[in-house]
Structure 1
Amino acid sequence: MTDEQRSIVETTRAFVERELYPHEQEVERSGALDPGLASRVRAKALAAGIYAANMPEDVGGAGLDAVTLVLFEKELGKTSYALHYTCVARPSNILLAGTAEQRERYLLPVVRGERVECLAMTEPDAGSDVRAIRTRAVREGDGWRIRGTKHFISHAAESDFVILLARTGTDEGGRGTMSIFLVDLDSPGVRVHDGYRNVSHRGYTNSIIDFDDVLVSGDALLGQEGEGFALAGTWLGATRLQVAATCLGRAERALDLSVGHAATRVQFGQPIGRFQGVGFKLADMATELRTAELLTLYTAWKVDQGAASDADIAMAKLKATEVLAMVADEAIQIHGGMGLMDELPLERIWRDARIERIWDGTSEIQRHIISRSLLRPLGA
């Protein structure tokens, strides 16, 4: 690491340990993040200069390159998702595609911590198959009339506006064309209601959003009409790298706890780490974690060079999420019964790991992207 990267890592690690770790059990046991606590910690994150670190400097962010951002995300990922994402936001970078007016109204207030955004793509009948989206936006005068329902929308209950992907037409092949809209959640006809109880990431809410004849002005359109699918693909690949990085953080924390336990837990007259059944688990955990970390950093380096492909990012997301699942499971096995008790963070890490192979593209979708990149050059 460079001196600057080392400083960012140390600052972020100290913030996580001092401001976020103490509130983990409160969030886990209550299943909610107190709004007052979130506001106080958010103010501290802003003061520490780590809020909106993924955003360019010219809009008020930290302007971190992709490699440094992975190192930053890894430290944040060690704690509860509800805490690190709600209190230390990394705004959706698709907002950078907005007009000057949209930047003033949406992007800049988000970077300053004055507004919060959510992203709405998934629907009850359209998950991995984004082309199956039914939410429609139809031209009406100078604006658009929106009808439809989105679900699994992360932190919508705490948001001020939604970045919405909706169908706006049909191409020559009969497939739906998509556009993206910025919609204030207090607009008439928008209703946000509770989503589903989730075993992963307690306190990090998901919601259902209904759009019942919602009329928005023409300047609500983000980018060009019919280009929403391409726009989303261009800007949102960074979220998969973010998922990979945060998974690395939790896996590292689980491994550290396991090494400490194996070195101090004595059975049959010696530390359990000396038994091959435990020691080899630690070796495999460390090796797999190192592999995932190097792959993720390599992918981030390619992003910085402008050379990263969809397959590169898919490999990082696939490997990191599956390594986290393996490390979390083995960590609990090493700790035995105590691993499943909520006095330790391991049972949370274990539960939280399960969703990582589903959201932001399932492991199967990542494998599809990778295999397609291998076969296409050969015409298959």
Structure 2
Amino acid sequence: MDFALTEEQEMIVATTRAFVERELYPYEAEVERTGRLDMDVIRDIQRKAMEAGLYAANMPEEVGGAGLDTLTWLLYEKGLGRANYALHWTGVARPSNILLAGTDEQKEKYLYPCIRGETWDCLAMTEPGAGSDLRGMQATAKRDGGDWVLNGTKHFISHADIAGFAIVFMATGEEDTPRGKKKLITAFFVDKGTPGFSVREGYRNVSHRGYTNSVLEFDNCRLPDSQVLGEVHKGFDVANQWLGATRLQVAATCLGRAERAFDHALAYAAERRQFGQQIGKFQGVSFKLADMAMEMKAAGLLTWEAGWKFDRGTVTEADMSMAKLKATEVLAHVADEAIQIHGGMGLMDELPLERIWRDARVERIWEGTSEIQRHIISRDLLRPLGA
């Protein structure tokens, strides 16, 4: 593994960071104050992101994306991650890779409009009674003649309020396994406005202001076979094939915010004077900085290695879980220590630290909790030994 970035990667890192600082930072205070992201702001950021070649950059070149390899994409995600989540996720959208699993007709209807910035997608898996245990989902899709009829509720569905459609995972049957019955899952495209499908406002939360969540309700929502994504009963297969790198995406954006918090802490430690000297000269502060830098580097190496292995087909579930687990926990640590170094000013909204601190909390929950990541890692360790 070559640890040096290529010239192209250096350019993408520099371009992304400059864009974030110039186009996203100025809107942060307003989004944090109001908890809203106006559509005219989104459209302005979209236009500029497209001009900069940063919009839908996660997509292959043949469908209109930038065609970045996984490691370069993660470096790009780290740069975007420095900003308020709603601003970079909505304004510089990265359509879900699962859209690439669609048929040609489905790509025309759903993928390409997302790449052109005409609409957004949202993924609907989580339910009030089924979070990490997706096999426990209660929402169903049942055959009725030549159609499917969907019933049930999904919640915590990110940016469903502006999405033009949802990719919804529903239980469509059961199969017998040595451990008992297991639900079969199928993925469906559901257009907003389809009879029986409603989107209502979700919950107010402490993290990522402006980045909304919604509750999706299905009441005898009827869909034709053409709305099935992938194969019937193979929803987990399509999800595992196309959504595997999302844990790495979370890790990369966390690294971006950790780096921003660290930059503030380092600058403050060098400038702030107490008892006749810079506070960075006190061991109580300097050792914090050393630990923060070391932990960030460790999290970065885990993430970049997993991205590098992903493109070579050698990445494991444990690799991705280690990266996600380490980066999310490092972000929480760095954000907390950065506030401690700043003292009372760290909690004031003149600085982004209190936001980064708040936003860090959800990262250890979504895309698989820290406990789930530890389960995946330990399972990979024990399986070869028959345990």
**Shared fold (TM-score, shorter chain, > 0.5):** yes
SS in 1 for 2:220: strand
Question: How far did residue 274 of structure 1 move?
Answer: 0.2
SS in 1 for 2:187: strand
- What's the secondary structure of 2:245's corresponding residue? helix
> Deviations for 1:264-306, whole angstroms, at most 9, x for unmatched residues?
0000000000000000000000000011001100110000111
- Deviations 1:98-121 (CA, angstroms, capped at 9, x unpaired): 101001100111111112100000
Query: CA–CA distance in 2 between the matches of 1:43 and 1:184?
Result: 25
Q: CA deviation at 1:141?
A: 2.0
Aligned equivalents of 2:70 and 2:46: distance in 1? 23
2:222 aligned residue: 215
Matches within 5 A, 1:193-232: 193-232=200-239
- TM-score normalised according to structure 1 size: 0.99
Give the Cα separation in 2 of the matches to 1:294 and 1:371: 20
| Partner residue in 1 for 2:287 | 280
Q: Please show how residues 121-270 of structure 1 align to structure 2 within 5 Å.
A: 121-173=125-177, 174-270=181-277
Q: Distance in 1 between matches of 2:226 and 2:385?
A: 43
SS at match of 1:203: coil
1:40 corresponds to which residue?
Answer: 44
- After TM superposition, give the deviation of residue 362 of structure 1 in Å: 0.2
Q: Which segment drifts farther, 320-329 or 222-231?
A: 222-231
Alignment partners' CA distance in 2, 1:90 and 1:333: 34
Q: Who is 1:300 aligned against? A: 307
Residues 53-76 of structure 1: CA deviation (Å, up to 9, x unaligned): 111011001010011011100000
**CA-based RMSD:** 0.7
For residues 175 and 307 of structure 1, what CA distance do their matches in structure 2 show? 29
TM-score scaled by structure 2?
A: 0.97
1:368 correspondence with 2:375: yes
Please give the alpha-carbon distance, in whole angstroms, between the structure 2 residues aligned to 1:47 and 1:280.
43
Q: How does 1:76-115 map to 2 (within 5 A)?
A: 76-115=80-119
SS at 1:157 equivalent? coil
Secondary structure class of the residue paired with 2:135: helix
Give the distance between the partners of 1:237 and 1:33, measured in 2 at CA: 29
User: 4+ residue stretches of structure 1 with deviation over 3 A?
Assistant: none
SS of the residue corresponding to residue 211 of structure 1 reads strand
> Which amino acid is 1:93 matched to?
N
* CA distance in 2: counterparts of 1:235 and 1:362, whole angstroms: 20
Long gaps (5+) in structure 2: none
2-structure distance, mates of 1:219, 1:204: 31
1:138 alignment partner AA: K
Partner of 1:354: 361
- Residue 159 of structure 1 aligns to a residue whose secondary structure is coil
Shift of 1:39: 1.1
Secondary structure of 1:197's counterpart equals coil
Mind listing any 5+ residue stretches in structure 1 that lack a counterpart?
none
Hey, what's the Cα distance between the residues in 2 that align with 1:246 and 1:370?
A: 21
